[in-house]
Amino acid sequence: MTPAQKNLTAKLGYTFKDEALLRDAITHPSHDRGDKKASSYERLEFLGDRVLSLLVAEWLFEIYPNESEGELAKRHAALVNRDCLLEIAETLALSECLQLINAEDLRRGRVNILSDALEALIGAIYKDTSQQLDVLRSVVKQLWQPFIHREAAPQDAKSALQEWAQGKGLPLPEYRVISQSGPVHAPTFVVSVQVKGHEAIEADGASKRDAEKKAATLLWQKLVKA
């Protein structure tokens, strides 16, 4: 096990019995160099996505006994979306462990790659424990504890951010395209948004509008939490 992998397992508070599962979870499909067989990484990502959704739903059901289904659903969506997964992946320094052919891919698609990798890692822990949810439940609660009471962003995060700024007597949020990469049929945009007096936040998306919405959501969540 590499030093980066040891650091990862220490932060997880979990040691793999089968280290091959850990390797599968951090080996991006691009690293297979054209191997046509089903990707273990993608299969673990599929499994981790479903198990995580269940555990977060269960947790919310327990700690918010008086909330409606709709309110729980909004909270759930805020906790399992790619932006929240990215935040958690970065606290784990997951990017330092990932096996990719081209490191530039991570810069262009950081949100998608790291969020997918975290789901694969959760799937790997679930498999390593022989599908015992108690162990994984403990890991998920440890990782998601700082976020579990996060308020869900409104559907129109850009409008909410604008209203917040106006309510504080500040100028309108400023959006700026940082970069555009990838092929014409599948571009990736990186956009930043800033409210005067506050640090800018960046996000990427398959369109300029999508990236702006993600960036607005992240900044809005940060500002209302402050």
Cα 135 from Cα 224, distance rounded (Å): 33
Q: What is the DSSP letter of 198?
A: S
Cα 164 from Cα 217, distance rounded (Å): 12
Are 189 and 177 in contact, with CB atoms under 8 Å apart? Answer: yes
**Catalytic residue list:** 49, 119
Residue whose structure tokens are 């977060």:
56
Residue 191 C-alpha from the chain's centroid: 17
Nearest to 109 by CA among 218, 214, 205: 205
Cα 220 from Cα 161, distance rounded (Å): 6
